[in-house]
């Protein structure tokens, strides 16, 4: 019987091709949008994590509270022992220190007179210890516009925009003016090695990068750092793990009298990223729910799976002695098969498009030029495992709901009514 | 004397129309024996379809009893009444009700799918049924390629392919011209004779009358007159 019914469906386009198209389209949109939005959101998390927040970040409490002022005077001391402690407590996280500091870059002429100067945001990162992976993390090589990445401690890397503002090219000497951790004056001469563009307006405005150890030295920080960033060795942010680490670490310092006690803050609790994380998690389900409802309505209302045309067949089948239950069961089975086919097609194209969008992406750099948040400049989809499944939920459910609604007619009407409707 | 296979006792069917009961059938008493060729004759709205649907257990009575092949129609559940139809009752409708996507052969075969026939048995039965109605050469056509008379023949073949005891035909000639109507009736008469199938028709078609062995005239849900040949 089922073979017979399927044969009939395949021969009747309005019963097969059109519902399959509707399902495929819905599944396609679900898969693609989910992949795209999740891609963008998780890219946003990755960008934030790499450029700023880490997966978790350890600072002193007052530093955290005043972090907008880049307060190196509130730095975290005894970096080596804290790092050691962290490594043993959280073996699946790797730790890298960074120093953020403010100051002025001054471009002198041959006689040492200032030609031009401008305030900048300094970033001391591990440029020479490749095991720390900072060059990859900040994708310095990819972002390089001119010159090269510093090879010597006295070399400095400028954001391209900043270098244009100062009107200098690689090879040029610049002097950094600032203050040490203790508040004394610093001036140190660097040689500009190259320029980079992060693709992020916040960082591109006036960032300059020097080596971490050099920063420690000139800012007189001893064995200290502004921030200590932790990254899961898997390279993926795992919210629950991060929160657990955050809780466990902070618990040990809860009773500490030291007002400069270290504090761990997870990515979730930085830069208002909590909502983004929640959205990444729930976006799929939100989208799926909307589509299940919308598509069931479309399928049912257009009568693609029910309707009078179908009732003729049901009527005949009842007349030849098929039971209502059996008719209903086959209707559901049949919609399951159509749903399955549609889901396969939709998922296939959805993933294909996501894959394409993962490789190319949409460049929104221009639209972002005034943005104050760290946001990826290229919107990319992300092909994840769950994308392979997510389309089947609306695909199958919509067909199922639609059929259930349509099939209710079999039971609601008395058998005789079904026949009366045939007598048009 | 042939066995009685249908017995209707004080059978009533009422519908609620604007809060008041409306009787489509009023206390009908009738019985049918095996091998009858009977017509229920009456104008439109007289209750013919209602009567046939109850006999075929597509509908249930609101009063009285309908005993069909020793089964009380009112007491059957969905699957029991489906079973009764599956094994014992064939239907022919006024509109031909062929499934447009299937061939003639498949439309007839459809009726056999609920029973456990092997493919070979099905083939034999279907070809035999098509032969009875003279359509063996049209078996691969789709219904839209058939004339009205041919379509109704397919419907007859579908109804008799299972060799049911009872064949219910609701105005089978209403949509046919005279020539086709006569030829359909001859076919049914032949089947009635050869297979012993009990035929119950509804009709208000004069042409049908002369073929009937027994005529029951229905008016406003009552039996007005009954004649036997
Ligand atoms: N479902 C229903 N609801 C209300 N009235 C109905 C229903 N079915 C049939 N009737 C009424 O019952 C009467 C008999 O109908 P029917 O058996 O179809 O007559 P016939 O087949 O002789 O034309 C008609 O007056 C019809 O309007
Ligand atoms: Mg009628």
List the one residue out of A105, A146, A92, A99 whose CA is nearest residue A127.
Answer: A99
DSSP A373-409: S---SEE-----HHHHHHTHHHHHHHHHHHHHHHHHH
CB spacing of A1 vs B101 below 8 angstroms:
no
Q: For residues A203 and A320, state if they share a domain.
A: no
List the one residue out of B95, B93, B129 whose CA is nearest residue B111.
Answer: B129
Kind of pairing between the strands at B37-41 and B214-219? parallel
Per-residue confidence band for A319, with pLDDT thresholds at 50, 70 and 90 = confident
CB spacing of A318 vs B110 below 8 angstroms:
no
Q: For residues A306 and A412, state if they share a domain.
A: yes
Instruction: Tell me, yes or no, whether A241 lies in a domain.
Output: no
Per-residue confidence band for A424, with pLDDT thresholds at 50, 70 and 90 = very low
| Ligand 1 atom with the shortest distance to the CA of B15 | 4
Q: For residues A68 and A211, state if they share a domain.
A: yes
In this predicted model, what pLDDT tens digit does every residue of A201-211 receive, in sequence order? 778 889 999 99
In this prediction, residue A366 carries a pLDDT of 66
Q: For residues A11 and A132, state if they share a domain.
A: no
User: Domain range for residue B217?
Assistant: 4-228
Q: For residues A355 and A397, state if they share a domain.
A: yes
Structurally, chain A folds into a number of domains equal to 2
Instruction: Tell me, yes or no, whether A412 lies in a domain.
Output: yes
Lowest mean pLDDT among A7-16, A199-208, A410-419, B67-76: A410-419
Interface confidence, given as ipTM, is 0.86
Averaged over A385-409, what is the pLDDT?
79
Q: For residues A95 and A175, state if they share a domain.
A: yes
Ligand 2 centroid from CA B202, angstroms? 8
The C-alpha atoms of residue B87 and residue B57 are separated, in whole angstroms, by 13
Cβ A229 vs Cβ A265: under 8 Å: no
Instruction: Tell me, yes or no, whether A220 lies in a domain.
Output: yes
Flag whether pLDDT at A265 surpasses 60: yes
In this predicted model, what pLDDT tens digit does every residue of A144-182 receive, in sequence order? 999 999 999 999 999 999 999 999 999 999 999 999 999
Q: How far is CA A36 from CA A4, A238, A242, A355, in A?
A: 41, 20, 25, 10
Q: For residues A28 and A166, state if they share a domain.
A: no
Structurally, chain B folds into a number of domains equal to 1
For the ranges A241-245, A255-259, A355-359, B171-175, the maximum mean pLDDT occurs at A241-245
Dihedral, A80, A82, A87, A90 alpha carbons, nearest 10 = -170
In this prediction, residue A374 carries a pLDDT of 65
Instruction: Tell me, yes or no, whether A372 lies in a domain.
Output: yes
pTM equals 0.72
Nearest chain B CA: its distance from A283 CA (Å): 42
In this prediction, residue A294 carries a pLDDT of 81
User: Percent of chain A beyond pLDDT 70?
Assistant: 90
Q: b/e map of A24-47 (b: 16 or more CB within 10 Å)?
A: bbbbbbbbbbbbbbbbbbbbbbbb
Substitution target from A419, A422, A423 for chain B, most B beta carbons within 10 A: A419
Kind of pairing between the strands at A155-159 and A185-196? parallel
In this predicted model, what pLDDT tens digit does every residue of A50-64 receive, in sequence order? 988 999 999 999 999
In this predicted model, what pLDDT tens digit does every residue of B150-204 receive, in sequence order? 999 999 999 999 999 999 999 998 888 899 899 999 999 999 999 999 999 999 8
User: Domain range for residue A88?
Assistant: 56-236
Q: What is the 3-state secondary structure (H, E, C) of A243-261?
A: HHHHHHHHHHCCCCCCCCC
Q: For residues A69 and A208, state if they share a domain.
A: yes
Per-residue confidence band for B222, with pLDDT thresholds at 50, 70 and 90 = very high
The residue count for chain B:
229
| Alpha carbon distance, N-terminus to C-terminus of chain B | 16
Instruction: Tell me, yes or no, whether A304 lies in a domain.
Output: yes
Residue B219's CATH number = 3.40.50.300
Averaged over B129-142, what is the pLDDT?
93
The C-alpha atoms of residue A205 and residue A127 are separated, in whole angstroms, by 21
Q: For residues A23 and A68, state if they share a domain.
A: no
Instruction: Tell me, yes or no, whether A135 lies in a domain.
Output: yes
Would you say the CB of residue B24 lies under 6 angstroms from ligand 1?
yes
Cβ A351 vs Cβ A384: under 8 Å: no
Instruction: Tell me, yes or no, whether A244 lies in a domain.
Output: no
Ligand 1 centroid from CA B218, angstroms? 13
Which among A11, A316, A322 is the nearest to B82, CB-wise?
A322
Q: For residues A285 and A226, state if they share a domain.
A: no
| Ligand 1 atom with the shortest distance to the CA of B13 | 12
DSSP B172-189: TTTTS-HHHHHHHHHHHH
Instruction: Tell me, yes or no, whether A301 lies in a domain.
Output: yes
Flag whether pLDDT at A377 surpasses 70: no
Q: For residues A214 and A128, state if they share a domain.
A: yes
Top pLDDT among A406 and A355 is at A355
Q: For residues A117 and A87, state if they share a domain.
A: yes
Nearest chain B CA: its distance from A400 CA (Å): 23
Residue tagged 């073979």 (tokens): A3
Lowest mean pLDDT among A1-5, A138-142, A324-328, B130-134: A1-5
């Amino acid at each position: 019987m089922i073979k017979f019914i399927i044969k009939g469906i395949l021969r009747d386009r309005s019963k097969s091709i059109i519902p399959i198209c509707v399902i495929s389209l819905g599944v396609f949109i679900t898969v693609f949008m989910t992949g795209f939005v999740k891609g963008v959101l998780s890219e946003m998390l990755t960008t934030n994590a790499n450029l700023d927040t880490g997966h978790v970040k350890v600072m002193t409490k007052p530093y955290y509270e005043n972090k907008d002022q880049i307060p190196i005077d509130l730095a975290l001391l005894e970096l080596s022992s804290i790092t050691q402690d962290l490594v043993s407590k959280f073996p699946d996280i790797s730790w890298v220190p960074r120093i953020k500091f403010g100051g002025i870059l001054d471009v002198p002429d041959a006689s040492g007179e200032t030609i031009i100067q401008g305030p900048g945001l300094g970033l001391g990162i591990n440029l020479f210890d490749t095991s720390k992976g900072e060059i990859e993390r900040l994708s310095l090589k990819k972002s390089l516009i001119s010159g090269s990445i510093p090879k010597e401690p006295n070399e400095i890397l400028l954001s391209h925009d900043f270098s244009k503002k100062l009107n200098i090219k690689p090879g040029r000497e610049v002097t950094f003016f600032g203050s040490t951790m203790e508040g004394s004056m610093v001036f140190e001469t660097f040689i500009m090695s190259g320029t980079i563009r992060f693709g992020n307006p916040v960082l591109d405005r006036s960032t300059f990068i020097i080596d971490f150890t050099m920063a420690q030295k000139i800012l007189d920080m001893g064995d200290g750092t502004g921030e200590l960033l932790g990254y899961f060795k898997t390279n993926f942010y795992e919210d629950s793990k991060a929160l657990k680490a955050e809780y466990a670490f902070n618990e040990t310092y809860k009773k500490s009298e030291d007002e400069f006690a270290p504090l761990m803050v997870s990515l979730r609790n930085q830069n208002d990223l909590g909502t983004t994380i929640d959205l990444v998690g729930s976006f799929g389900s939100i989208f799926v729910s909307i589509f299940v409802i919308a598509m069931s309505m479309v399928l049912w209302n257009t009568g693609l799976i029910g309707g009078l045309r179908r009732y003729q067949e049901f009527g005949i089948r009842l007349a030849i002695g098929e039971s209502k239950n059996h008719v209903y069961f086959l209707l559901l089975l049949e919609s399951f098969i159509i749903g399955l086919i549609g889901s396969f097609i939709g998922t296939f194209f959805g993933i294909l498009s996501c894959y394409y969008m993962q490789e190319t992406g949409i460049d929104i750099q221009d639209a972002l030029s005034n943005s104050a948040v760290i946001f990826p400049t290229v919107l990319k989809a992300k092909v994840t495992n769950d994308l392979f499944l997510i389309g089947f939920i609306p695909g199958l459910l919509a067909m199922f709901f639609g059929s259930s609604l349509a099939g209710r007619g079999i039971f609601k009407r008395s058998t005789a009514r079904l026949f009366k409707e045939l007598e048009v | 004397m042939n066995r009685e296979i249908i017995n209707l006792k004080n059978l009533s069917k009422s519908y609620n129309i604007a809060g008041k009961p409306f009787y489509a059938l009023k206390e009908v008493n009738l019985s049918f024996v095996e091998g009858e060729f009977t017509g229920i004759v009456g104008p439109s709205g007289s209750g013919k379809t209602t009567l046939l649907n109850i006999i075929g257990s597509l509908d249930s009575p609101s009063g009285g009893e309908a005993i069909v092949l020793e089964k009380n129609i009112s007491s059957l559940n969905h699957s029991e009444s489906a079973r009764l139809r599956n094994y014992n009752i064939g239907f022919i409708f006024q509109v031909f009700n062929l499934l447009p996507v299937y061939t003639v052969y498949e439309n007839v075969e459809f009726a056999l799918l609920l029973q456990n026939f092997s493919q070979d048995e099905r083939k034999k039965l279907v070809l035999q049924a098509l032969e009875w109605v003279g359509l063996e050469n049209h078996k691969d056509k789709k219904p839209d390629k058939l004339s009205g008379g041919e379509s109704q023949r397919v419907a007859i073949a579908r109804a008799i392919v299972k060799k049911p005891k009872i064949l219910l035909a609701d105005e089978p000639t209403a949509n046919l011209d005279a020539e086709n109507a006569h030829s359909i009736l001859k076919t049914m008469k032949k089947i009635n004779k050869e297979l012993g199938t009990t035929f119950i028709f509804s009709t208000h078609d004069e042409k049908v009358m002369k073929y009937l062995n027994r005529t029951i005239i229905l008016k406003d849900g009552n039996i007005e007159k009954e004649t036997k040949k």
